[in-house]
Structure 1
Amino acid sequence: MPIDPKRIALGWPNYIDEATLTGGRWLPTLPLTHLQDARTAVVAKSASLAPEDTQYWITLPKRRRVHALCLYAHNLSSTATIRARVYRDTAGQDLIYDTGRVNAWPITYGLDDVLWGDDNFWNRRLSEDDRQSYTPRAIVAFDDRFIASAVHVEIHDPANLDGAVTLGRALLVDVWQPNYNVNFGIKHGYNSGTEVKTAKDQNRTRYARRITPKRTVTFDLGFLNESEAFLRLHRLQRTEDIVGEILYIYSTDPTPENNARNMVCHQTDLDPLTHSFVANFENGMSLLEIL
């Protein structure tokens, strides 16, 4: 089934690190295998913008359940598209799903953000002069949860002003949604990290060392059954700890508001499960964005 846009979704584990990456044409000094480096500043760079150069295969060592692909820390332009084809076999002969071309950037602006006469007035998509100020993250959600051995990714970005595609990280994940959505009281915010020092002059002049803020979200999941509590969240804590990547999807609806909330993140705390009442459990989560 497709991911329900009315409930949050959590994607993990990331299978990219165990996969074999092949295809396309990537610079020898910035190879495709850099997608398997968790440091997003370590990028892969294509040799050109030709479609045959900007495609690649993700081949898994064994069949895995996959439900979403995310390209992260990329330089894709506002008109770029991504296509993912999912295969049951490693040879790429048994196709089970094709996303078709989907936009790398979702709708980014609200109606009050664009002016009549702007090139993007009708589609409200990201303008090139604003692109650097947004977290470069492209989420491609599949229409179902597939058992796959390989995924073929095609990137089409002829308008890229850099003359090549760069990718800092990729996530290929399974996705879980709770039977009941998060409790009311969910909090989305920012962790600043900016440091401010005050001089000992008469004006107490402030000097700031600005650091890019990271998004945060904290929420409580209630009315969990025993399977959700121990075979999902308890297992998530064990396997991902406070360092493993999690794809947080507030909603798959491609709205500017959801674009502001969806992110790649990790847990900051491991809250214990609470057996709140008969056959029901609850758990709190605190997530911090990975940049």
Structure 2
Amino acid sequence: MERLIFGFPRWTPDVTWSGGGWEVAYPVANLGVLPLNRVARSTSLTTSATQFTMTFSAQRRVQLLGLVRHNLSIHAKMRVRIWSDASSTVLVYDSGWIDVWPPVYLPADLEWEDDNWWEGTYSAAEIAGTSATRPIWLGRLYSAHVIKVELDDVTNAAGYVQVGLCEVAQGWQVSVDPTLGFEEGFRFRTEQADAMGGVRYFNRREKPRVARGEIADLPRNEAMGRGYEMWRQFDIDTPFLVLPFPDETLHWLRTAYLARSVDPGRIAWAAANRSRYPIAYEEVL
């Protein structure tokens, strides 16, 4: 499997946002700030409204982006284009129109009678109420000065498109896979109370995804120059994208998200010029 990617360094704070049609109370600049419930919301569903442009102060090397906490419907599409110059004349990347919700099931996982058998995507019922992240992995580094994202979701039942954050990063792809035992799951926050008669009541609360593991044999210079620096610069408050296994596209929507570090422990000496690098992060809600 292809190796884990951390969205470090991140370029989102360097972006100037423009383009499209966005509500005054929910402007396009909200795509670059937290909390995630401070969304950018389009004024309509026309494709001229549901687009935005990111301009950097200088060329930035980019290979990872993410639409975080969006309300795009199951049949929505998107397009990402990247120019290396400030005047948007030198096009270096064009994704074409791609699905916002790519396949998440193999044909064997579904029954012939299922509405989503042909596409292998989530059904509309399955994503109801979901705050999703759509990662965009470019596969290599591109020198970017301007990035344009276009969204096509003209049948969205909400009557608008909204996104909590558009994260953009250079991306650090570790040179060594995590060791066996890498853990992924949730931190459950649902509250429960038992009545006198034994009936149990629940208050469902949103749950963050979590992951924990270790890279047992990371080159020392990488552990310090990348891993140590990410901890030092980001601490536990700065968010970043994570994409654990880029070639595992079937599970991107399950495993890729905006996260923050949870105190993972310490970098340990493994051997001459090799380090054990602990991993622990939790999704930003």
What residue in structure 2 maps to residue 49 of structure 1? 45
Counterpart Cα distance in 2 of 1:258 and 1:94: 30
Counterpart Cα distance in 2 of 1:9 and 1:87: 23
Question: Which of the numbers 232, 241, 252 marks the counterpart of 1:238?
Answer: 232
What residue in structure 1 maps to residue 93 of structure 2? 97
What residue in structure 2 maps to residue 265 of structure 1? 259
* TM-score, scaled to structure 2: 0.93
Q: Does 1:289 align with 2:283?
A: yes
Counterpart Cα distance in 1 of 2:61 and 2:160: 31
Q: Does 1:280 align with 2:274?
A: yes
* TM-score, scaled to structure 1: 0.91
Question: Which of the numbers 183, 191, 202 marks the counterpart of 1:187?
Answer: 183
Contact 2:135 2:257 in 1 (8 A): no
Q: Does 1:9 align with 2:9?
A: no
Unaligned runs of 5+ in 1: none
- The letter of the residue matching 2:87 is A
Q: CA deviation at 1:215?
A: 1.1
Counterpart Cα distance in 2 of 1:75 and 1:160: 9
Deviations 1:21-61 (A, max 9, x none): 00111111111011122111111111111111111110011
Counterpart Cα distance in 2 of 1:224 and 1:40: 33
- The letter of the residue matching 2:70 is H
Counterpart Cα distance in 2 of 1:103 and 1:280: 41
Counterpart Cα distance in 1 of 2:203 and 2:46: 40
What residue in structure 1 maps to residue 207 of structure 2? 213
Q: How does 1:152-191 map to 2 (within 5 A)?
A: 152-191=148-187
Question: Which of the numbers 230, 247, 254 marks the counterpart of 1:253?
Answer: 247
Contact 1:107 1:254 in 2 (8 A): no
Report the CA distance shift for 1:283/1:192 in structure 2 as closer, same or farther (over 3 A). same
Contact 1:241 1:270 in 2 (8 A): no
Q: Does 1:59 align with 2:59?
A: no
Report the CA distance shift for 1:44/1:258 in structure 2 as closer, same or farther (over 3 A). closer
Report the CA distance shift for 1:17/1:98 in structure 2 as closer, same or farther (over 3 A). same
Contact 2:60 2:143 in 1 (8 A): yes
The alignment partner of 2:184 has SS state of strand
Counterpart Cα distance in 2 of 1:132 and 1:253: 27
Contact 1:15 1:173 in 2 (8 A): yes
Question: Which of the numbers 7, 10, 14 marks the counterpart of 1:18?
Answer: 14
Q: Give the percent of matched residue pairs that are identical in Structure 1 and Structure 2.
A: 27
Q: How does 1:31-180 map to 2 (within 5 A)?
A: 31-111=27-107, 114-180=110-176
Q: CA deviation at 1:158?
A: 2.1
Deviations 1:156-205 (A, max 9, x none): 11221222211111101111112111111101121012223344x2x344
Report the CA distance shift for 1:179/1:253 in structure 2 as closer, same or farther (over 3 A). closer
Counterpart Cα distance in 1 of 2:263 and 2:167: 22
Contact 1:68 1:139 in 2 (8 A): yes
Unaligned runs of 5+ in 2: none
Q: CA deviation at 1:254?
A: 5.6
- The letter of the residue matching 1:67 is Q
The alignment partner of 2:155 has SS state of coil
